[in-house]
Amino acid sequence: MKTVEELENLMTQPSAALIDDLVKLEGNIMVLGIGGKMGPTLAIMAKRAIDAAGLDKKVIGVSRFSNGTLKDELESAGVETIACDLLDEEELKKLPVEKNVIYMAGNKFGTTGNEHFTWAMNTYLPGRVAEHFKGSNIVAFSTGNVYPLVPVYASGCDENHPVAPVGEYGQSSLGRERVFTYFSQRDNTPLAIFRLNYAIDMRYGVLLEIAKSVFNETPLDLSMGHVNVIWQGDANEYAIRSLLHASSPPSIINVTGPETLSVRWLAKEFGRLFDKNPVFVGEEQENALLNNASKAHQLFGYPRVSIREMIEWIADWVANDGETINKPTHFQERKGEF
């Protein structure tokens, strides 16, 4: 892959399993907060699967669409769009109530110093959305940051692990889950809580940051010495298919790849491909932010894109100065300050 167009074509290619699941799903799909890193490719993947199945369903993307060409790009791919500021009560009330909702709105980066906005987006707004879409199937994006750091030898946190978020982003994300859960139980609204950590593609994510450090021969901090990652296309597919697993009380689904990955090993793999020696600072700590996504793998199968494919693709992308999105993950953050 050499271009963004080729990358996005690959990421939006639906699997046979996704096509089969959308045949079972009744009603249209609305994506709230479609303007983030994952929303556009998720919506286009859903639309491609609907078309492949010959179904009469709509995919509707909702965002402020305040700048850029995203609105036109989505519409050219067959995704309908609605411009809406979700925090504006009157605009929210005007949204059509669709049977299936994927909730991707939220705030993470810039939380420190702007905590009130993060709490409004992550905890207040979900209640307003849950009331408006009462009875719809809702997949609510959340994060592995609701879990504590755990020993690297313990296979990560599964869905039964006690939550203990570090910092206000993680706390407000848990607040989002709790508020959605309240309305799910009050109104019998089917809900799936989608705890994702570290989706990647070639333009952003943990692997890109490690690869750039190695390629540019800049020091790589090892204090968060282990991570989980999943290809964005696989995470998007899991999210769409999770609509069939929404329930009341809610289902919780951890979403990431199957491996607990050593940051040192990842850097050495990139070093081998770049013919460069990684530069490390710090030492691996005994704990890290790690998820166990075996439930998701049981429901949806293992990710289609392997870790070695991701490493090779990203190495080639970096070596050829491919386009990137300047949104660092801050995966090394151990105090929850984003």
3-state SS track over the chain: CCCHHHHHHHHCCCCHHHHHHHHHCCCCEEEECCCCCCHHHHHHHHHHHHHHHCCCCCEEEEECCCCCCHHHHHHHCCCEEEECCCCCHHHHHCCCCCCEEEECCCCCCCCCCCHHHHHHHHHHHHHHHHHHCCCCEEEEEEEHHHCCCEECCCCCECCCCCCCCCHHHHHHHHHHHHHHHHHHHHHCCCEEEEEECCEEECCECHHHHHHHHHHCCCCEECCCCEECCEEHHHHHHHHHHHHHHCECCCEEEEECCCCCEEHHHHHHHHHHHHCCCCCEECCCCCEECCECCHHHHHHHCCCCCCHHHHHHHHHHHHHCCCCCCCCCCCCCCCCCCC
Domain of 45 in residue numbering reads as 4-200+229-257+292-298
Is 308 among the domain residues?
Answer: no
Is 322 among the domain residues?
Answer: no
pTM of the predicted protein model: 0.95
Is 210 among the domain residues?
Answer: no
Q: What is the pLDDT of residue 333?
A: 73
Is 206 among the domain residues?
Answer: no
Q: How many domains does the chain have?
A: 1
pLDDT tens track for 180-203: 999 999 999 999 999 999 999 999
Confidence of residue 2 (pLDDT cuts 50, 70, 90): confident
For position 57, which CATH number holds?
3.40.50.720
Q: What is the pLDDT of residue 203?
A: 94
Mean per-residue pLDDT of the chain: 94
3-state SS track over 42-64: HHHHHHHHHHHHCCCCCEEEEEC
Q: What is the pLDDT of residue 57?
A: 97
pLDDT tens track for 306-329: 999 999 999 999 999 999 987 777
Is 93 among the domain residues?
Answer: yes
Is 73 among the domain residues?
Answer: yes
Is 129 among the domain residues?
Answer: yes
What is the arithmetic mean of pLDDT over 125-131? 97
Is 271 among the domain residues?
Answer: no
Say which amino acid occupies 17.
A
pLDDT tens track for 250-288: 999 999 999 999 999 999 999 999 999 999 999 999 999
